[in-house]
Chain A
Amino acid sequence: MSNGEEAASDVMVRLRNVGLSHDGSRSFILRGVDLEIRRGEFVAVLGPSGAGKSTLLRIAMKLIAPTEGKVTLAPPATAQGRPAGLVFQDAKLMPWRTVQRNVELGLEGLALGHVERHARALDALRLVGLAEQAGRWPRQLSGGQRQRVGVARALTVEPALLLMDEPFGALDAITRAGLQEELLRIWAQTRKTILFVTHDIDEAMILADRIVVLAGHPASVRGDLAVGPRPRDRGGPAMQILAERLRALIAGDPDPAEAGYWRASEI
């Protein structure tokens, strides 16, 4: 796996010509996907439902082996960590574990004492503002709180890469906006490298440094666009132009920027 090419250790994950087929290469879900994410970057993968975004995420963290191509994932920052932490769409907490024990899940099996494991999980819960709920059961939490526990569970393994699979997709608009803000605060605080899957153009533009558009059958990377500086003005002209470009890329229409609708300086 390690053959010196990660010497540029700033690359946290690299996908090269990745393809996935479930029927012995007769048809592909993903094909020819190239993607590289650097340390500290916040990258959104944007695409229509069913485009294979979640699958791409699982390939990036090596939960699914690709049919073709190569995945290189950076090792965790510390020996007592895991390369990747995944946040699921509906939190997917284990109902029989307390909040605290849910967060500890990824730490079990690492060479950590009970006290240290407890302390690390509690630190992560503090980061998402749920330290007081540590002893409660998942059923006693709101949807937004459960999702925050899911974030804490992924963060506590000190992953080189934090992967988020439409984590706020199932929440109401107000809760979602609050959690987006909180995620940006956590990102600023921890400088984690984040790969965030969403089908919501606004969400991608508010959160990410870069937006990778994944679409088509089989799906491939249709575009890889940088988003302007923060803080962002949702209604500003730059954002509207970007949204227009993203919509065109998802639909498979020619990129309005390249088609000369706008001068590059406007973008």
Chain B
Amino acid sequence: MSRRVGHQRLHRPFLGAVGLIAMFGLWEASVRMGLVSSGLLPAPSALIPAWLDEVKGGFWQGAIRDSMTHYLLGLVIGSVLGGVAGLLCGAVPMLDALLSGVVRVLRPIPGLAWVPFAILWFGLDTAGATFVIAISVFWINFYAAHGAVQSIDRDLFEVAAAFGHGGFGGRLFKVVLPAAMPGLMAGLRTGLGQAWMSVVAAELFGVPGIGARMMQASSLLATDLVVIYMLTMALLYALTDMAFMLVRNRILGWQG
């Protein structure tokens, strides 16, 4: 059995790479053979010179720096606030009941709908973009934390109390936080992906960054630039998700 698992462990990333190369190969071939017009979809080989121009001009690095700032700020603020609110509502039934109506009203409003208010309240800058991203991440973490607290094995509170940790701090630090950690981590990871989508939305209206650069490029029909920034975003997501999983696997080593 362990041999099979070992095999699969080696095979999966390898096959993933093969699939990726096949996709780019097919893409390149279909443009070269004239199946797709290069005006509609630029070939991967055509992207490299365009990308080098972007790098030389400093636009690429600047866009990444701006977007990463929005992304990280929005992610951290939204995740922390959402996680804490979810933990509190999950742990305190009174608060949960009190806020259930408010949650129902606010929950279905997408982050994008807040853009006018983001501009009005914060302006066309980092704060405005951060706000839009934070809102979309907030709800994901709110529900993840809420659910995680609700599904804690109640008996563990008695275990904690029997061994001298029956107070608020004991319950919180010896039971609630560690027991809810897998759920919190799942919420964080979903938020990690959702936040990239919100980055584009938040920057479409003019806050500088990858989304804004894409918008400019598409208005000039510079499809090669659009594709470059699409791939850039994919790469950044892959990197942030990978870094997160390293941390997560360390914290949740007990799950095996």
Residues of A whose CB lies within 8 Å of any CB of B are 61, 63, 82, 84, 86, 88, 92, 94-98, 105-106, 108-110, 137, 139-140, 153, 157
The reply to whether B256 and A137 form a contact with Cβ atoms under 8 Å apart is yes
| B19 contacts chain A at the CB level, 8 A cutoff | no
The reply to whether B174 and A105 form a contact with Cβ atoms under 8 Å apart is yes
The reply to whether A63 and B256 form a contact with Cβ atoms under 8 Å apart is no
Bound form: Cα–Cα A137–B155 in Å: 19
Top 9 closest pairs, chain A to chain B, by CB: A106-B163, A86-B162, A96-B178, A96-B254, A105-B163, A92-B159, A137-B254, A109-B164, A92-B155
The reply to whether B254 and A92 form a contact with Cβ atoms under 8 Å apart is no
Nearest B residue to A163 by beta-carbon distance?
Answer: B162
Nearest B residue to A138 by beta-carbon distance?
Answer: B254
| B68 contacts chain A at the CB level, 8 A cutoff | no
Nearest A residue to B165 by beta-carbon distance?
Answer: A109
Residues of B whose CB lies within 8 Å of any CB of A are 155-156, 158-165, 170, 174-175, 178-179, 181, 253-256
The reply to whether B256 and A153 form a contact with Cβ atoms under 8 Å apart is no
* Sample (28) of A-B pairs whose CB atoms are under 8 Å apart: A63-B158, A63-B162, A86-B162, A86-B163, A88-B155, A88-B158, A88-B159, A92-B155, A92-B156, A92-B159, A94-B156, A94-B159, A94-B174, A94-B179, A95-B254, A96-B179, A96-B254, A97-B178, A98-B254, A105-B160, A106-B163, A108-B164, A108-B165, A108-B174, A109-B164, A109-B165, A139-B254, A140-B256
Known: A63-B162, A96-B179, A137-B253. 16 other contacts (CB 8 A): A82-B164, A86-B162, A88-B159, A92-B155, A92-B159, A94-B156, A98-B254, A105-B159, A105-B160, A105-B165, A105-B174, A109-B164, A109-B170, A110-B164, A137-B256, A140-B256
Tell me, rounded to whole Å, the shortest Cβ–Cβ distance linking A36 to chain B.
Answer: 22
Q: Collect the chain B residues with CB atoms within 8 Å of residue A84's CB.
A: 162
Bound form: Cα–Cα A61–B159 in Å: 13
Bound form: Cα–Cα A109–B170 in Å: 9
Q: Collect the chain A residues with CB atoms within 8 Å of residue B254's CB.
A: 95-98, 137, 139
Nearest A residue to B162 by beta-carbon distance?
Answer: A86
Q: Collect the chain B residues with CB atoms within 8 Å of residue A82's CB.
A: 163-164
Bound form: Cα–Cα A94–B155 in Å: 10
Which one of A95, A140, A157 lies within 8 Å of B163 (CB-CB)? A157
Nearest A residue to B178 by beta-carbon distance?
Answer: A96
Most chain B CB within 10 A, of A82, A94, A137, is at: A94
Q: Collect the chain A residues with CB atoms within 8 Å of residue B162's CB.
A: 61, 63, 84, 86
Task: Determine chain A's interface SS by DSSP, over half rule.
Answer: loop
Q: Collect the chain A residues with CB atoms within 8 Å of residue B161's CB.
A: 63
Bound form: Cα–Cα A137–B174 in Å: 17
The reply to whether A96 and B159 form a contact with Cβ atoms under 8 Å apart is no
Tell me, rounded to whole Å, the shortest Cβ–Cβ distance linking B183 to chain A.
Answer: 12
Bound form: Cα–Cα A178–B139 in Å: 51
Nearest A residue to B155 by beta-carbon distance?
Answer: A92
Bound form: Cα–Cα A95–B159 in Å: 12
Q: Collect the chain A residues with CB atoms within 8 Å of residue B160's CB.
A: 105
Bound form: Cα–Cα A182–B256 in Å: 30
Nearest B residue to A157 by beta-carbon distance?
Answer: B163
Tell me, rounded to whole Å, the shortest Cβ–Cβ distance linking B28 to chain A.
Answer: 48
Most chain A CB within 10 A, of B164, B179, B253, is at: B164
Nearest B residue to A83 by beta-carbon distance?
Answer: B164
Q: Collect the chain B residues with CB atoms within 8 Å of residue A88's CB.
A: 155, 158-159
Nearest A residue to B175 by beta-carbon distance?
Answer: A94
Most chain A CB within 10 A, of B162, B178, B256, is at: B162
Bound form: Cα–Cα A139–B159 in Å: 18
The reply to whether A94 and B165 form a contact with Cβ atoms under 8 Å apart is no
Q: Collect the chain A residues with CB atoms within 8 Å of residue B170's CB.
A: 109
Which one of A96, A109, A137 lies within 8 Å of B181 (CB-CB)? A96
Most chain B CB within 10 A, of A109, A137, A140, is at: A109
Bound form: Cα–Cα A43–B218 in Å: 82
Bound form: Cα–Cα A109–B174 in Å: 11
Nearest B residue to A150 by beta-carbon distance?
Answer: B159
Q: Collect the chain B residues with CB atoms within 8 Å of residue A63's CB.
A: 158, 161-162
Most chain A CB within 10 A, of B158, B181, B254, is at: B254
Nearest B residue to A87 by beta-carbon distance?
Answer: B162
Tell me, rounded to whole Å, the shortest Cβ–Cβ distance linking A33 to chain B.
Answer: 20
Bound form: Cα–Cα A139–B170 in Å: 23
Tell me, rounded to whole Å, the shortest Cβ–Cβ distance linking A187 to chain B.
Answer: 20
Q: Collect the chain B residues with CB atoms within 8 Å of residue A95's CB.
A: 254-255
Contacts A92-B155, A95-B254, A137-B254 known; A153 to B163 CB distance under 8 Å?
yes
Tell me, rounded to whole Å, the shortest Cβ–Cβ distance linking B38 to chain A.
Answer: 55
Bound form: Cα–Cα A97–B178 in Å: 9
Most chain A CB within 10 A, of B163, B175, B179, B181, is at: B163
Bound form: Cα–Cα A161–B160 in Å: 18
Q: Collect the chain A residues with CB atoms within 8 Å of residue B174's CB.
A: 94, 105, 108
Q: Collect the chain B residues with CB atoms within 8 Å of residue A86's CB.
A: 162-163
